[in-house]
């Protein structure tokens, strides 16, 4: 948006990238058809040792580089399975699930402006993204904001489930649910920006063709066109306003660097943006609440089987099923439903092949659906962040402590019961004894809200509607840390729309 306004921004980014060996494998595979891939190359990019861990992580071509964890330049005190910032070029969009819904009015009641103010920015954002979506029963509550969407071909299991939902009289005409084909930022067909999806079944390991959108792709284009001054290898440590300028202090391999800019937009991810504001304002030992969504995963049996096509399938979310729990709140509960993906298959030791046993396994897998259900941050636990001042030679440590919600166990139970009640009417039965989700520990990656936007910031950690922390005029935080609440219905599209709103409306003439 800044580029469209005629500005050539300087981007200061840690910007770590995939190691060169893996990059070579990805480059080789991307130049081949999926049928030509070498088994060794495939093994490299799909290697994921976390499938044997309790918390399975999505990796990027076999590498965990998008999860920064603790660093000398930005130390953390966090449990091993706790949240992490990203210092990757493109951040977590290098490994995300690409699921995208706009937020509904009922989920943004705490926001300081009407949810409708975001409408033009959803349009602007979606106009420039690959967007697999279709006009279906989601569109009533969650507008598409674009006419020329290009949906992926749903797998037989997904198509059959959607048809079953459509045929159900019980689900028809209700205002407490909405469902449809999952909306994902994936290029369905070949085009000038790159190759379309070839249904290779490796989405959760990384797409060698780049069909899944990542912010890295846009960044690359802007660098090539000379639209931005991109400076990687800079870890921003703090910033301050100096008259009409903002001074930014970065750590580089060569030592500290001070950079003067006339306006600063901070988008270091919710954890690192919060750290930067705490450090810059010298707010040590002061707790800040990082909100998060929370939920559970549950396998489900569909009595109507369909051919199980993996690996010839797209393994991102197949269906979005949104429902409400009126006895608890007016918020949407967001479920992403899919056939078994490659991480689940790896966990159960499944490999594609032929033979009678394989035939039986495929019959069973053709009846398996997996739902990931997420709840709004108002209903979920949260994290408490606290910055402990570093000593002379050491950086300050950001501690992240889990703050469970005492009510969430009940919310989760009610949510799973409701899902069961709704879906069992159409012959899909959640296997609740196999439900995974610790009510005392959020497992997701949708967090923010530590620097909430308010109309009138009174607290040092509040921001105004342009994301400016109290007392600052030229420093804007534009990522999810400024969300007053985090809807369950995905986070990135909302963050992109809000950042675009700020970048478009803020005065730049000075
Ligand atoms: C496995 C996974 C799946 C996900 N799936 C989805 C999904 O399907 N849908 C959805 O909506 N969301 C999803 N998310 C969440 C989504 O990816 C994040 O909300 C989003 O990436 C946040 O974007 P961001 O740019 O604010 O921060 P990040 O993605 O964290 O990027 C941070 C950027 O800032 C840079 N940076 C960080 N610290 C500094 C510093 N001190 N100095 C300079 N640069 C710095 C990094 O190099 C990076 O470029 C998922 C997340 C994960 C981990
Ligand atoms: S199935 Fe997934 S990994 Fe394979 S081409 Fe399509 S988007 Fe990429």
pLDDT tens, N- to C-terminus, the chain (510 residues):
888 888 999 999 999 999 999 999 999 999 999 999 999 999 999 999 999 887 889 999 999 999 999 999 999 999 988 899 999 999 999 999 999 999 999 999 999 999 999 999 999 999 999 999 999 999 999 999 999 999 999 999 999 999 999 999 999 989 999 999 999 999 999 999 999 999 999 999 999 999 999 999 999 999 999 999 999 999 999 999 999 999 999 999 999 999 999 999 999 999 999 999 999 999 999 999 999 999 999 999 999 989 999 999 999 999 999 999 999 999 999 999 999 999 988 887 777 777 787 788 888 899 999 999 999 999 999 999 999 998 878 999 999 999 999 999 999 999 999 999 999 999 999 998 888 889 998 878 999 999 999 999 999 999 999 999 999 999 999 999 999 999 999 999 999 999 999 999 998 865
Calculate how far, in angstroms, residue 204's C-alpha sits from the geometric centre of ligand 2.
9
User: Which protein residue's CA is at the shortest distance from atom 8 of ligand 2?
Assistant: 207
Quick check: is 380 in a domain? yes
> What 8-state DSSP symbol labels residue 87?
-
Is ligand 2 within 6 A of the CB of residue 275? no
Ligand nearest to the CA of 196: 2
Distances (CA, A) of 371 to 135, 138, 393: 22, 17, 48
pLDDT score recorded for residue 330: 97
Which residue ranges have their beta carbon within 6 Å of ligand 1?
12-15, 58, 74, 85-89, 91-93, 95-99, 234-236, 267-269, 272, 445-446, 479-480, 490-492, 495
Q: Is residue 19 part of a domain?
A: yes
Please indicate whether residue 365, judged by its CB atom, sits closer than 6 Å to ligand 2. Answer: no
Q: Which of 73, 81, 91 to mutate to test the pocket of ligand 1 (most atoms within 8 A of CB)?
A: 91
Q: Give pLDDT, residue 263.
A: 96
Do the Cβ atoms of 236 and 248 come closer than 8 Å?
yes
- Identify which of 438, 293, 439 has the alpha carbon closest to the alpha carbon of residue 377: 293
Segments of 325-381 assigned E as strands: 332-338, 368-375
Tell me the best of 99, 191, 195, 202 to mutate to test the pocket of ligand 2, counting ligand atoms within 8 Å of each CB and taking the most.
202
Mutate to test the pocket of ligand 2, among 46, 211, 217 (most ligand atoms within 8 A of CB): 211
Q: Does 213 contact ligand 2 (Cβ within 6 A)?
A: no
Residue 470 in domain: yes
Residue closest by Cα to atom 50 of ligand 1: 96
Ligand number nearest to the C-alpha of 14: 1
Partners of 260 in the beta sheet?
Answer: 247
Task: Note whether residue 510 is domain-resident.
Answer: no
Which of 58, 83, 215, 445 has the most ligand 1 atoms within 8 A of CB, as the residue to mutate?
445
In a domain, 163, yes or no: yes
Q: Any idea which ligand is nearest the CA of 264?
A: 1
Side-chain half-sphere of 123: how many Cα atoms within 13 Å?
7
Structural domain contains residue 154: yes
CB contact set of 254 (below 8 Å; sequence gap of 6+): none
pLDDT of residue 482: 98
Cα 192 to averaged position of ligand 2 atoms, centre (Å): 17
Residue with tokens 């063709």: 209
> Residues near 285 by Cβ (< 8 Å), separated by ≥ 6?
386, 387, 388, 389
26, 44 in Cβ contact below 8 A? no
Query: Residue 421 C-alpha to ligand 1 middle, in angstroms?
Result: 35
Q: How many domains does the chain have?
A: 1
* pLDDT (0 to 100) of residue 508: 82
Edge-to-edge strand list for the sheet holding 332-338: 177-181, 319-324, 332-338, 368-375, 294-302, 428-430
State how far the Cα of 159 lies from the Cα of 181, in Å rounded to an integer: 9
CA of 275 to the centre of ligand 1 (A): 15
Residue from 93, 191, 314 whose mutation best tests the ligand 2 pocket (most atoms within 8 A of CB):
314
Interval between CA 132 and ligand 1 midpoint (Å): 21
| pTM, full prediction | 0.97
User: In this predicted structure, what is the pLDDT of residue 54?
Assistant: 79
Alpha carbons 363 and 365: distance in angstroms, whole number = 6
Least distant ligand from the CA of 203: 2
- Residue 307 CA to its chain's centroid (Å): 30
170, 245, 356, 364, 367 from 359: Cα distances, Å: 34, 67, 5, 9, 13
What's the token pair of residue 291?
A: 């909100």
Q: Ligand 2: which atom is nearest the Cα of residue 187?
A: 7
Dihedral sign for Cα atoms in the order 198, 201, 207, 208:
negative
Range of the structural domain that residue 438 is part of: 2-505
Q: Quick check: 17 and 223 in contact, CB under 8 A?
A: no
Query: What does the pLDDT read at residue 510?
Result: 56
337 is a domain residue: yes
Cα separation, 196 vs 190, in Å, equals 4
Distance, CA of 245 to chain centre: 33
Closest atom of ligand 1 to 316 CA is 8
The answer to the question of residue 151 being in a domain is: yes
């Amino acid at each position: 948006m800044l580029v469209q306004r005629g500005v050539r921004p300087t981007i200061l980014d840690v910007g770590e990238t995939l190691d060169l060996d893996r990059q070579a494998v990805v480059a080789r595979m991307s130049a081949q058809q999926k049928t030509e891939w070498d088994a060794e190359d495939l093994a490299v990019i799909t290697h994921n040792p976390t499938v044997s861990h309790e918390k399975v992580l999505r990796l990027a071509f076999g590498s965990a580089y998008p999860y920064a964890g603790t660093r000398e330049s930005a130390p953390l005190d966090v449990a091993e399975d706790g949240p992490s910032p990203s210092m990757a070029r493109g951040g977590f969009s290098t490994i995300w699930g690409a699921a995208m819904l706009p937020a509904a009015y009922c989920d943004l009641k705490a926001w300081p402006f009407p949810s409708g103010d975001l409408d033009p920015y959803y349009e602007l954002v979606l106009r420039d993204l690959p967007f697999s979506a279709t006009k279906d029963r989601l569109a009533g509550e969650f507008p598409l904001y674009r006419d020329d969407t290009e949906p992926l071909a749903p797998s037989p299991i997904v198509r059959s489930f959607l048809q079953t939902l459509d045929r159900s009289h019980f689900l028809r005409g209700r205002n407490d649910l909405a469902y449809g084909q999952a909306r994902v930022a994936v290029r369905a067909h070949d085009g000038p920006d790159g190759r379309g999806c070839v249904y290779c079944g490796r989405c959760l390991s990384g797409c060698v063709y780049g069909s899944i959108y990542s912010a890295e792709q846009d960044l690359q284009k802007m660098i090539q066109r000379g639209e931005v001054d991109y400076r990687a290898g800079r870890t921003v440590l703090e910033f301050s306003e100096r008259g009409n300028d903002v001074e930014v202090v970065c750590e580089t391999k060569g030592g500290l660097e001070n950079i003067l800019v006339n306006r600063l937009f901070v988008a270091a991810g919710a954890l690192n943006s919060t750290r930067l504001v705490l450090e810059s304002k010298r707010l040590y030992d002061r707790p800040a609440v990082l909100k998060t969504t929370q939920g559970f995963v549950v396998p489900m049996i569909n009595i109507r089987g369909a051919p199980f096509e993996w690996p010839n399938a797209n393994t991102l979310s197949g269906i979005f099923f949104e429902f409400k729990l009126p006895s608890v709140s007016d918020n949407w509960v967001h479920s992403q439903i899919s056939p078994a993906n490659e991480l689940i298959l790896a966990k159960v030791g499944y490999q594609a092949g032929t033979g009678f046993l394989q035939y039986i396994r495929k019959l069973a897998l053709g009846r398996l659906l997996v739902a990931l259900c997420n709840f709004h941050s108002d209903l979920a636990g949260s994290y408490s962040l606290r910055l402990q001042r570093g000593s002379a030679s050491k950086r300050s440590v950001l501690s992240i402590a889990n703050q469970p919600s005492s009510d969430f166990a009940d919310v989760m139970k009610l949510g799973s019961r409701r899902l069961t009640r709704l879906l069992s009417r159409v012959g899909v039965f959640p296997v609740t004894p196999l439900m995974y989700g610790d009510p005392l520990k959020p497992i997701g990656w949708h967090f923010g809200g530590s620097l909430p936007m308010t109309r009138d910031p009174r607290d040092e950690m509040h921001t105004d509607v342009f994301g400016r922390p109290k007392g600052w005029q030229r420093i804007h935080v534009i990522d999810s840390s400024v969300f007053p609440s985090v809807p369950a219905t995905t986070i990135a599209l909302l963050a992109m729309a809000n950042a675009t709103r700020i970048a478009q409306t803020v005065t730049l003439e000075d």
